[in-house]
Amino acid sequence: MLRSILKKIHYVQALNQTIKKQGDNSPDLSPSNLSDNLQQNLKLLQTILGTSSDIVVREFNFGYEGKIEAALIYLVGMTSSAIVNDSIIKPLMYDTRLFSSKESLVTNNIELIQKTMLSVGGVKRVSSIEPLIDGCLYGDTVLIVNGSQEALVISTIGWESRTVEESKTEVVVRGPREGFTEVLGTNTALLRRKIRNPNFTFETMQIGQKTKTGVRIAYLKELVNPHLVEEVRRRLKRINTDSILESGYIEQFIEDAPFSPFSTVGNSEKPDVVAAKLLEGRVAILVDGTPMVLTIPLFFIENFQSAEDYYSRPYYASMVRSLRYIAFLISILAPAVYVALTSFHQEMIPTPLLFTMAAAKEGTPFPAVAEAIGMGMVFEILREAGVRLARPVGSAITIVGALVIGESAVSAGLIGAPMVVVVALTAISSFVVPGQTDAGAILRLLLTIFAGFLGAFGMMIVLIVVLIHLSSLRSFGTPYLSPLAPLSFGGLKDTFIRVPLWAMFTRPRMLGGYDPQRQEFRLMPEPPSKDSENR
C-alpha cells in the first residue's frame, strides 16, 4: 500500500517537472502589444510561428515613392491566393491615389487603409499578438505596416473543402438531399437557409489548446430556454484539452451520464433535421471539421423517428415507426428469448416446432447460450469488417462471409440451423434503428448471458434494471424518457404514432415552454362548402 502511494507521488512530481519544462521552452503566447517597428513585429511572429515551409512572409513597399514598408503573413493552402493578389496587394501597390503627392504618406494610417483601400469583406484591426496568430492559423492574412502599432487581420480563407452532398448516414426517399460538410461556415449557411429568422443566433468559441477548433452554438432566442443555453455555454467553457477533432470529442465532455450505454446528446448530418429540432426549442452545436452536428437535449424516442416521417402521410409513417419499435425489441431480445426457451422453458414451445428444433440441434457440442454469444461475436466482426473496408469490397465481404460461415457452421455440426435464423433476424432488425446500434449490442449480450443462467427470470432482471436506468437519465436536465416519463398526453401525438401535422398544435412540453404553440388551431383541410361550389 505504501509503495503504491510513493509511486503515485513520484509520478505526479515527474509530471509537474515535465509540464514546467515544456512551459519554459514554449513561446510566450500571452497577449502583448505590437510595436511600431515592422522588423521587430516580424521577428516576434516568426519566433512564435516557427520556420514551417507553408508560412509566407511577403514584404513590399507602397505609397509615395514606395516609402511605406509593409508585410503580409499567411499560410499556403489555407488562404485564397486570388484574394491576396487582387484585393490586397494590387490596391496597395498600384492605386494611383498613392502617387499623387507627398501627402499620400499618411496612408501608413492603418485605419485609412482598412476603410479606403482594401476590397475585402472581412477586415478587423488588432493591436496584440494573439489575435494575429489565431487569424493566421485559421486562414486569414495579416497585414503589418511600418510605423503603426496596429495590424489588420483580413479574411482570405480559401482552403479546399467537400461540396454539399447527400447524407450517407441518414438516407431518405422523400426529403432534402443535402447534408452538412466539414466547413463551419457552410454548415451555418445551410441552417440559415432553413430558418430565416432574426432571432436565430450563433455564438462562436474556440476549444482545444493545440487545435483551437471553432465551435458554434445555435439556437432561436424566442423559443429556447435561457437556462439551457447558459448550461451549454458552461459545459463547453469548462473543456480544457489539447484537441477537438470531431463532435464526438465534445459529446463525451458534456453528456450527463458518461457511464451510460445510452447517449444523451443527439447528432445529425442533415440540416432539415437540425432545423426542426431548433424550432422545437433545442440547442445545436456545430464543430469545425466534421459534418455531424450535435443537438441538445435528446429524448430516447428520437432514435425511432426519421425526417421522412414528417414528409409522408401519417398513416404509413405511423406503421413504419411501430415497426422500428418492434425491430429494436427483436434485435435485443431474440437471442435471449431463444436461449431461455430452449434451455429452461421448453414447455412454451409448440410440440411440432420443439421436435424440429431438437432434431436440428442434435449433435451440436455447445449449449444454446454459447452458440448465441459466439454467433453474435461473428456478426459484430462481419459488421465491423463491412464498415472499415472499402465500400465495394465491404458489402461483398459481409454478404459472402455471413452465407459461408453460417452454412459451414451448420454443415460441420457446430451450431444448429435455428440459431443461424435467430442471429440473421437479429442482425437485420439491428439495422432498422441505427441510433441504438451501440447500446443494442451491449443489451443483447447482457440479456443473452442472463437468459443462459436464469432463463426468463434473468431477462426480466436486466429489463427492469435498464428501465430504471432510462427513467433516471437526464439530458441537460430534461427527462430522457419524456413524454412517457413524466407522462405528457400532448407529446404522445409524436411518439408511437405520428398524427397529422395539422393536429400537432404545440411543441414538446419539456422544450417549448416559452412559446408552446407552433401553429394555429383548426388547420385541418376541409372540402369546399356547397355555397362556394354553387358560386
Q: Is 176 helix (H, G, I), strand (E, B) or coil?
A: coil
Instruction: State yes or no: pLDDT of 290 exceeds 90.
Output: yes
Q: What pLDDT sits at residue 115?
A: 82
Sheet with 151-154, strands from edge to edge, namely: 55-62, 68-75, 141-145, 151-154, 123-126
DSSP 12-66: HHHHHHHHHHHHHHS---S--B--S-HHHHHHHHHHHH-S-TTEEEEEEEESGGG
Q: What pLDDT sits at residue 67?
A: 77
pLDDT digits (tens, 9 = 90+) for 429-478: 988 998 898 899 999 999 999 999 999 999 999 999 999 999 999 999 89
- Span of 135-139, 253-257, 272-276 with lowest mean pLDDT: 135-139
Q: Cell numbers of 47, please? A: 519566433
Give 3-state DSSP helix, strand, coil % of the chain, rounded to 5: 50, 15, 35
Instruction: State yes or no: pLDDT of 2 exceeds 50.
Output: no
Phi, psi of 20 (to 5 degrees): -65, -40
Residue 364's pLDDT band (boundaries 50, 70, 90)? Answer: confident
Mean pLDDT on 148-163: 86
Mean pLDDT on 344-358: 85
For 320-326, the CB contacts below 8 A with 24+ separation are 321/496, 321/497, 321/498, 322/496, 322/497, 323/432, 324/432, 324/433, 325/496
Q: Is 413 helix (H, G, I), strand (E, B) or coil?
A: coil
- Per residue, what are the HEC states of 210-251? CCCEEEEEEEECCCCCHHHHHHHHHHHHCCCCCCCCCHHHHH
Beta bridge partners of 60: 70
Instruction: State yes or no: pLDDT of 394 exceeds 50.
Output: yes
Beta bridge partners of 287: 215
Mean pLDDT on 390-406: 65
Q: What pLDDT sits at residue 368?
A: 87
Mean pLDDT on 326-340: 94
Interacting residues of 326 by C-beta distance below 8 A, sequence separation 6+ = none
Q: How far is CA 278 from CA 271, 281, 295, 496, in A?
A: 10, 5, 8, 22
DSSP secondary structure code for residue 79 in this structure? B
Instruction: State yes or no: pLDDT of 21 exceeds 60.
Output: no
Residue 15's pLDDT band (boundaries 50, 70, 90)? Answer: very low
Compute the mean pLDDT over every residue in the chain, rounded to the nearest whole number. Answer: 84
| Spatial distance between the Cα atoms of 446 and 300, rounded to a whole number of angstroms | 20
Give the side-chain half-sphere CA count within 13 A for 98. Answer: 21
Mean pLDDT on 177-196: 92
Q: Cell numbers of 25, please? A: 521552452
- Higher-pLDDT residue of 356 and 19 is 356
DSSP 489-518: TTGGGBTTSB--GGG--B--TTT-SSS-B-
Residue 521's pLDDT band (boundaries 50, 70, 90)? Answer: confident
Mean pLDDT on 378-397: 73
